Each structure stands twice: as structure tokens, then as C-alpha cells.
Amino acid sequence: MQTKVVAPAVEPSSEGETSVAVRGVRRAFRGTHREPLVALAGVDLHVGANEVLGVVGPSGCGKSTLLELVAGLQEPDGGSVEVAGRSPAKARRELCAFMPQRDLLLPWRDALGNAALALECQGVPRGEARSRAAPLLERFGLGGFEAARPAQLSGGMRQRVAFMRTLLPGRPVLLLDEPFASLDSITRASMQAWLADALATEPRTVLLVTHDVEEALFLSDRVAVLSARPGRVVQELEVPMPRPRDRRAAVTDPALARLRERALEVLGS
Amino acid sequence: MRRWLPASALLLLFLGAWAWLASLPSVDDLTLASPAEVWGAFGDDRDLLLDNARVTLVEVLLGLAISIVAGVSFAVAMHLSRTLRDATYPLLVASQAVPIVVLAPIFVLAFDYGMGPKLAIVALICFFPITVNVLDGLRSVEQDHLKLMRSFGASRVRTLRSVEVPAALPSFFSGLRVAATVSVIGAVFGEWAGADEGLGRLVLLGNNQLQTPRVYAGVVLLTLMAVALFTLVTLLERLTCPWNRTERTA
Amino acid sequence: MKRTQCLLIPALLLAMAVLAAGCGEKKDTITAGETREMSLLLDYFPNADHAGIYAAQAGGHFRDAGLEVAIRQPADPAAPIKQVVAGRVDLAVSYEPEVLRARDKGLKVVAVAALVREPLTSIVSLPGARIRSPKDLAGKTVGTAGIDYQSAYLRTILKDAGVDPAQVKERNVGFNLTPALLTGKVDAVLGAFWNYEGTELRQKGRKPRIIRVNDAGVPTYDELVLVANEDALDRDGDKIRAFIGALARGTKDLRASPDKGIQGLLEANRDLDPRLQREVVKVTLPLFLPEKGKPFGYQDPREWQEFTRWARQNEIVRKLPDASGAFTNDFLPGSGL
């Protein structure tokens, strides 16, 4: 299994002011007991254009729900969600590229077909979509695996295919839900490095949900810490180091170390 | 090659038991023909048996084709419309409980004598397992996949095409396997309601005319037909759903 | 001396004749005190054609004859002959052509009495088809049950009427003869009974047109016969004789009061329409009973031979030379009714 990934060539550039604004968002679900399950209880977030916001929080704090709200897959019960100043769900969906926690590759499509899926859904003819996806597979270190079926790929390879699928349509906002959670630490490290480089070369507005504080600090401009359910933003941290960051520097830098302490402290309480 | 061994052994055992049973004095040969007598009937009545088998096979294949079209259409329609599903599902279930004896004359009234009633009966018996299985297959698609497609901005048709239908293919073949197996007996019932040709008719008349070896030869042919259809469906599935197989061996 | 001697010989002869007649008088009852079991398999669901049997049962005649008779219904149309040959039942109700066919195959089945001594099979049509005689069948569709000898009846009838068989379309309608006729899918059906389906259609106001097969060129035969296993005749002869005797008495009851007589039948099969059954029994009664001077259940050898000849010509039987051995009148009650 190849672990080396190379930064992709220039892709269609995102448009100007694609910020994400989440104001006072409430979201509750019908719980199993009479009371509703409140996932988010008044969340305020802002992600500037081409900014990377890391979102950390304990399990079940509504991080995934938050992403789906931004992505236009759900509507808030209270408050508002805007992407590039647009609030209709359809508009949000068109601007956001959503990468869920599981790779959700279709077993009946080969790797190339899976990578091309989102493009095809947008109306791009199959042949063209596949040829747009092919160079990306190469660059992600999956050259030679175009015709492989998901069952034949390792977890890390599948996650990479899912990533390609997310990136190919070239949407300005990336919503990543724990994209590296299922990878082993070696692959995770190299994928983080690749993403850091990719975002430096090819800036996008990114909401990165992760349970790994280190990862958030490595990749994000700012980190928002969510409380346990019902979720609220309890802390926002600014990461002063410019991107892309050197791994060793990120780990040893005292300012970052303090931020890490702070975040863990908040999470622990 | 080795996988055929247990089945062959069992078959030989069965033939032996059959031959032994038929040889018992308490079992008269009007009731049970021995394997040797049946083999003889294949020799004597070969043309008769094969000609009638051909007729029944056509009824089976056409009836199955109709049931596939009907079954898949019902399933997709019921999948797309909740109202339709609530309205029609009970009726479809009820359709399976009505005895063929009652339905056959109605079909004859509708289609006149000829292939019509037989195709109708085969289709009636076979569409149901296909409908139920395809519907279940379509509904078994995970919500997460549908959410993902929505996030891509995929149209309803696109989602059906790329996700739901392929996901439902293995279930379709499950249903088709059942349908293929019962299609043969469906054709026989259809012929019993009035036919000029066919193995079902041959078996019925042979029984009335005390031609027991011919009856059993007809039954053997019907059995072979069902097994062949079942095998064909399994082969088709292997060809069209290769990912299913790979998953199991991985 | 000579005078007495002259008288003696006639007296002796008379005594011998009386004795011979007495011996010839076949035993049709079993000594009181014995009860023997007997099984009878019908040819079809209990219906008016079996009225005599059920009248004998209900009137206690089997019991009086020392028999306990179990009446069974067949699982399939071929069961009566099969079960008798296999020795699973003592007696069964079957049809003359099927008896001949079975004997042609070398099966040891014998007809021991005629239950209905003339054909009931007919060509039945509705007025709309405008079939008044066999000649009118030209250009029409006739539904049959796919039974080979019935198709042969049709061929014979057409030949007799001078109709080209190619002008008549024969369709296999399974056993749904009446529905096929009523839905107009066929112009006429062959295989329905004039006493049963004919009466049924008449009672429903359909005005059926009926051509009996024996009126149209088919030699007469016994529609329903009682059959037994040939090898069992020696062993069970007494039983069989007793059975037929009791049956004769039951049929006599039926003739005396038909309404009372069919009670047994109606109880055995509660699905039956009493009005229909009464009417069917009324029109069939003359055929349950023998011709004047003949014993109950008499099977006419000449008729059997003629029918066998017809069966040979039409390839219903291939090897059977004649009717001998296929039937016997040895077990009929001593005197006619």
C-alpha cells in the first residue's frame, strides 16, 4: 500500500467570498423517551473565506449534525445557517462538498467510478467524469487501482477515494467529518500532511470536524471546542502559526502546546 | 468438480431408494413406476415428451419474462410512492392466496384458450417473490448513501440508477430464483385448466390413462426444467453482480 | 307298474329341477351374525348418480346383508381402477371404456354390475349456437375434457353425420365443461351428462340442447359400472353378491319414494342442491333399474361386444380381442326386480 501522496495540480478555483455563518443554531430530534434530544443548543460559528475551522468536541456532541446543517442536508429548528450569504438548503448543498465519516463507496463501482460519482450526479457524462478523476487517482497514490472494487481496497485507500470524490466537483466549501478517523496513524499522518499542502496550494473554506485535538491544531486556522450534548461552542482558539505547518514544529511549538492544554482542559470539564 | 460429489452421491442414493421402493410387492406399479420403467418411457415416448416439454418451456419462459417486468415495475412504483405501496401491498398479498382453480376459468374468460391463461398463471405465481424481494432490496439502501447523493445534488432518477437499483440487484436475483423454481408448477396448473399440449397436460392424461411410466417421465422432465432455470438464474447473478462474490471471498 | 314308472321319471326330473333351481338360486345374504367389512370407492364426489348406493346405506340394507360398507371419494379420476387393481378397495365405481382400457393393459379388473345401464355422455350446447343435430357441428368449436375415448365419441359422431372433422375445432377445456359453455368460449361441450349437467342447465333456465352420444352413432354402453378385482372374485364372491343384492333393495326404496331415498346422499354431501339431485334421480331412475326380465345390474353381452369392437376401431384398446372376461353377471341377484 502506497503511503506517499503528492499534492494535486491546480483545480478549478473557488469563487470569492464563500464564508460560512452559523448563528444561534438549535437542532433537536425526537428522542426515545418523551423528551426531545437536543443536539445543538445555540451554536454560533463563523468561517471566513478560505479559512480552515477545526471543530472538536466529545462524542455525541452534535458535530456531525452541525456539518449536515451547513451542508444543507438538514434545517435548523432555531437560528440560521448561511453559506456565502445564502440560506436556502439547495443553495447550501450546491456550495458545499460534504465528506461523511464513512467512505460510503458503492460496491458495484470501481475506484475510478466511485471517485467520479459526484461529478456524474452533477450531469457530467460518465466518460468525461472518469477521465477527470483518473489523474487524481494517480496523484493520490492509487495508480493501477482504477479498476479495483472497494472490497479489494484497504481502509486507507477507500478513504482516499472518498476524498477524491469530495474534491472533484470543485466546490468552494469543504465539510469534512472526521475524515482520517478510520485510518492507521501512519496513513493518517501522511493524509494530514497532504491536506495541509493541498489547502495551501488550493485554498478552500473548510469545516473540519475531528476528535483529535492535535489534528485540529495542525490543520486549522481556528479551533472551536463544542461542549457535550446539548452542544454549544465553549471555546474558540486562534492558531497563530501560518499554514502549511511543519509537523515537528507544530508538535513542539510552546504556543501550540498551550492551546492543546487549553482545549483538553475545556473538553475535560 | 469436487462440489458436485455430495449432490451426485445423494442423487444416486435417492435413485436406489426409489428403485427399491418400486420393487416392493406392496407398492403396485400403477402407483409408482421404477427408474427402469421411466427410462424405458424416455425411450418409447421420447418425441412425445420432448415436444410437450418444449411447449411448457415456452410458457414458463414467457411467463417469467412477464413476471419480471411486472414485478420490478410494481416494486419500483411502490418504492417511489408510499401511498401506492399502502394501497396495493395488501392486494398483492391477497392475490397469492386465491386458488388457481378459481382463477383459471377467469383467465380463460379474459384471454380465451391458448397461451394466455397459462402465461397469466405463471406470471401471477412468479411476480410476487420478485416484487417483494426487489422492494425490500430498494428499501435496504442505507440512509447515509441517500444523504450523500442528496449532497451531490443528484436527481431522484440518478439516485435510483446509481444507488438503489444496483443495491437491489442481489435481492432481485433472490426473488428470481424462487420465481424460476415455482414457474414450472405454475405452467402445469395453467395447463390443467385446459390445454392442447404441454407436459402438465401429458402428466394429467397419462395419470387418467394409467400410463404411469410416462407420467413419471414427465415429472422428471419438469423437475429438470426447474433445476435448469434455477441454475441459469444463479449464473446470471454471478455475471451481473460480481461485487457480491468478491465481498464474500475477500 | 309302468304307469308309476312313467310318473316317477317326470317326478324325479321335477324334483331335480326344483333342486337345481334351488341350488342355482344364488345366495345373496350372508348368515345372520357375521358382519364383514367392505370398501367402495366412488368415481367422483357423491352425487345423484350414486343415489342407489346411499339409499341402500341409509335404509340399512348393507347392514341387513351382513356388510359394513365404507364409501370413499377418489383423490383423482384414475383412482378407482388403480385402487381395485392394487387390492386397496373391494369395489369401485368406474366407466365401461376405462374397464376395457385397463383390461387391454392386462390389469385384473372386472365389471360386476351395471349401475347406469345406458350412456349419459352427451353433446350439450346452448340455443345460441344453433346446434340441433350433429350435422350442425360443422364450423363450430367443441370443448372436451381431453379424455381420449370422449374425443373418439366426437370423431364417430361427426363421421356418422357426414361432417368433415377438419371443420370442427376441438378444444381441451380441462374439467371445466359447464363454465366453458356458459362463457361462450366454445359452442358445445362433449362429456357433460344429459341427466346431470343437462338438468342443471335446464333448472337455471338456460334451455340446453342435448345430443346423447348413443343417439348419434356411438354404440350403447353402461355409463357407470361396479368393478372388482378379478383375482378376488373367488374369495369375495359372497360379499360382492350380498352387496349388489343390498344395492338392488336400496334402489327399490328409491323408486318407491325418491324424496326419502335421497336423504342419505344429501347427508353424505352437504354441498348438493336437493332440488337438482331430486330431478336428476327422477330422470336417471329408469337406468338404475334393469330392463324387464333382467336381473338388477345386468350387463348386456352383445352391447359389450359391440362397444369393444368400436373401442378397437378407435384405438382405445389395441390388444383386447373382445369383451369376454371384462364383465360378469355371475354376482347379480337371483331374480329381476
CA distance C107 to chain B (A): 10
Give the integer Cα–Cα distance in Å for A221 and A204: 12
Contacts of C183 in chain B (CB under 8 A): 105, 108-109
Q: What is the pTM of this model?
A: 0.80
Contact B75, B130 (CB under 8 A): yes
The predicted-structure confidence for C246-279, as pLDDT tens digits, reads as follows 999 999 999 998 888 899 999 988 888 999 999 9
Please list, in sequence order, all residues whose beta carbon lies within 8 angstroms of the beta carbon of residue A65, skipping any fewer than 6 positions away.
A27, A39, A40, A74, A231
Q: Which helix or strand (DSSP H or E) is residue A28 part of?
A: strand A20-29
The predicted-structure confidence for C216-228, as pLDDT tens digits, reads as follows 999 999 999 999 9
Residue to test with chain A: of B140, B148, B237, most A Cβ within 10 A: B148
pLDDT category, A9, cuts 50, 70, 90?
very low
Contact B249, A153 (CB under 8 A): no
State yes or no: ipTM above 0.95: no
Cis-peptide into A172, omega within 30 deg: no
Instruction: Give, rounded to a whole angstrom, the gap between the first and last alpha carbons of chain C.
Output: 45
CA distance B62 to chain A (A): 30
Chains that touch C (3 or more CB pairs under 8 A): B
Contacts of B152 in chain A (CB under 8 A): 117-118, 121-122, 169
Q: Does A96 touch chain B (CB under 8 A)?
A: yes
Nearest to A115 by CA among B246, B242, B152, B169: B152
Beta strands in chain C (DSSP E): 36-41, 67-72, 91-94, 109-116, 121-125, 141-144, 169-172, 188-193, 209-212, 224-229
* Residue contacts between A and B (CB atoms, under 8 Å): 57
116-175 of A, contacting B, C-beta below 8 A: 117-118, 120-122, 149, 151-152, 169
Give the integer Cα–Cα distance in Å for B156 and B148: 13
In 10 A of CB A28, how many CB atoms? Answer: 17
Mean pLDDT of the A94-109 span:
93
Instruction: Give, rounded to a whole angstrom, the gap between the first and last alpha carbons of chain B.
Output: 22
Cis-peptide into A230, omega within 30 deg: yes
The predicted-structure confidence for A11-21, as pLDDT tens digits, reads as follows 444 444 688 99
- Residues lower than pLDDT 70 in chain C: 1-33, 335-337
In 10 A of CB A231, how many CB atoms? Answer: 26
* pLDDT for the residue B134: 97
Contact B165, B139 (CB under 8 A): no
Residue C118 grid coordinates = 345406458
Residue C50 grid coordinates = 350414486
